[in-house]
Amino acid sequence: MIIPKIDFPTFQSLYAELKKNNFYCLNSEEVSTVYEYLKDNLAVRFAKNDTLIPNIKMKWIRSDFDKIALEKTIDVILSKGNIRISHLELQIAFKEEVLKSPKDLEDARHIEKIAEGFLDTTLINKYRDRLREFYK
């Protein structure tokens, strides 16, 4: 999960809300330490109490691509509620140009197949080019 940079009081409120909803931080229980990790551009992980997996990684915006992922989103409607994700064109390009594992390449092909007819292929190619340049 990518979030904008926030001040400490705002983060304290977020952290308290997470704890209230039965989440804990795997990196540290101390809110000030967790905030310092984020300030140092490190990601932190949260999980439900008494579990380790699954967990979610949280980080602040670090690059233009993070900003795009946060700003250009789509809502996925699920039976238990909605979730907001980055748009599919960026996900496909990132999986193909940066991650490149067999699983990520398979995921990208699957997204393209499922969303066929709804994707902007010009935008995917633009992201591929920009990612290649950025990760040289």
Structural domain count of the chain: 2
C-alpha distances in angstroms, 32 versus 8, 9, 14, 37? 8, 10, 12, 9
For 25, the domain range is: 2-60
Q: Give CA angle at 25 (24, 31), nearest 5°.
A: 100
Same domain, 70 and 86: yes
Same domain, 41 and 55: yes
Same domain, 88 and 70: yes
State the pLDDT confidence band at 128, using cuts at 50, 70 and 90. very high
Same domain, 51 and 73: no
Final residue belonging to a domain, choices 60, 75, 100: 60
Q: Which two tokens stand for residue 108?
A: 């990208």
Neighbours of 58 (CB within 10 A): 19
pLDDT exceeds cutoff 80 at 136: no
Instruction: Give pLDDT tens digits for 47-67.
Output: 999 999 999 999 999 988 999
Final residue belonging to a domain, choices 60, 80, 110: 60
Q: Determine the 3-state secondary structure of 92 from DSSP.
A: helix
- Work out whether strand 2-3 and strand 55-60 pair parallel, antiparallel, or are unpaired: parallel
State the pLDDT confidence band at 21, using cuts at 50, 70 and 90. very high
pLDDT exceeds cutoff 80 at 15: yes
Question: Considering the entire predicted model, what is its pTM?
Answer: 0.76
Instruction: Give pLDDT tens digits for 75-103.
Output: 999 999 999 999 999 999 999 999 999 99
Q: What are the two backbone dihedrals, phi and then psi, of residue 60, each rounded to the nearest 5 degrees?
A: -85, 160
Same domain, 52 and 110: no
Same domain, 40 and 101: no
Same domain, 68 and 124: yes
Contact 38, 26 (CB under 8 A): no
Residue 26 confidence (pLDDT): 98
Same domain, 29 and 46: yes
